[in-house]
Each structure stands twice: as structure tokens, then as C-alpha cells.
Amino acid sequence: MATISTADFRNGMGLLIKDKPAVLVEFQHVKPGKGGAFVRYKVRDLQSGRVVDYTVNAGTKFESVNLTTREYQYLYNDGQDYYFMDNETYEQLPLSVDYIGDNAKWLLENDVVQIQYADDQIIGVTPPMFIEAEVTETDPGLKGDTVSGGTKPATISTGAVVQVPLYLNVGERIKVDTRDGKFVSRV
């Protein structure tokens, strides 16, 4: 693996921190009046998603990680694994729920997802930014509920529960932002 120095830091760069792949979120070179220069930096652990702060001496070497993203089409879930197809080679890739995590509730068959790699190791699956799904379960809407601005919980076809306006009923299609799980519009 290639090594890089703190002088080569760039936001978005992949690093190996404590044997875990991480992406550099922010860094600052500090040269105090007394003592040696040092670097404060924040990295996002790509396996847990946590952002962690570190401080090291200037010139410290790190192993770099090649971060890549590839598009796959989500095919189906057999109850144990999720199956994806590479859009270029048409090979199928089975992944356990460990790689997908909470994003499993946003997967719809035939949607294109992003699978992230650190070197050749899969580190995660990102669903599309917006999905269109059918409301499968919610309390019935009442006449006149269009103006009140209130919300109610609704289960969509992927199994996720989102807050929707009071006027929506079972069977309607909605657009949901998968980044925060919020209702966007009726489709």
C-alpha cells in the first residue's frame, strides 16, 4: 500500500486508521509559537459511520486506501442475503445485511445502488437518493386534512415507516428522501 504524509492530506482522501478504512473529513495544520507543528484531523470510519478527531505530529505517515464506488442493480432478498447485479459484467453479488445495515429499508427491486469499496473490500451500500414507493399501511385520511399540516406514520412497500401528510391513504405512491427518511411528494 502507498503511504502518504500529513502534508499530502486532502478532504475526501481514504486512509487506514487503526486498521480500519476511513475518509478524511477535515484537517488543519497548526504551527504554534513554541514546539513542533502538528495536524488536527477528523475522519469518518467507513464501517461504523462515526466521525472521530485525532491529533498527530506534522509529517506523520499513513497508509492510503483507494476508495471506489460502483453501480449495481438490486435484484432481490432471499431472506438471508441481498442480491445485486453488476451493471457492466452482469455478475451477481450476494451481500449479507451486515454490509447494508439500515439502508435495507430503502431497497426496491431493480433500483440502482452504489456499492463502496476500500481497495477491494466492500464497505457499504448506498440506496438511491429518492425512491418511489406505495403506502401499504396508514390511518385513513379525513376530508379537510389537506390544510392542517399535520403528519401521521405510514408504512411503505419496502417496510420502512415514514411520516406523511394526513391526507394520504393506503395505495397511494409517494416519493421519499432516503438520506433522512422524509416524505417529499405524492407521485
Q: What is the pLDDT of residues 151-183, one digit of tens each?
A: 889 999 999 999 998 888 899 999 999 989 999
% of the chain beyond a pLDDT of 70 = 95
Q: Let me know if 155 is exposed, middle or buried by CB neighbors in 10 A (0-12, 13-18, 19+).
A: middle
Domain boundary among 92, 109, 126: 126
Q: Single out the residue in 64, 79, 110 at which a domain terminates.
A: 64
Does position 85 have pLDDT exceeding 90, yes or no?
A: yes
Per DSSP, helices labelled H in 3-152 are 97-100
Average pLDDT over residues 121-137: 91
Look at residues 82, 108, 126 and tell me which one is the last residue of a structural domain.
Answer: 126
Does the pLDDT of residue 27 top 60, yes or no? yes
Are 106 and 71 in the same domain? yes
- Mark whether 86 and 104 lie in a shared domain: yes
Please state the domain count of the chain. 3
Q: Which amino acid is at 176?
A: V
Inform me whether the pLDDT recorded for 91 exceeds 60.
yes
Is 56 found in the same domain as 9?
yes
Domain that includes residue 29, residue range = 3-64
The predicted pLDDT at position 52 comes to 92
Considering the domain architecture, whether residues 50 and 19 belong to the same structural domain is answered as: yes
Question: What are the backbone dihedrals phi and psi of residue 57, each rounded to the nearest 5 degrees, phi first?
Answer: -70, 145
Give the CATH number of the domain where residue 106 resides.
2.40.50.140
Q: pTM for the complete prediction?
A: 0.75
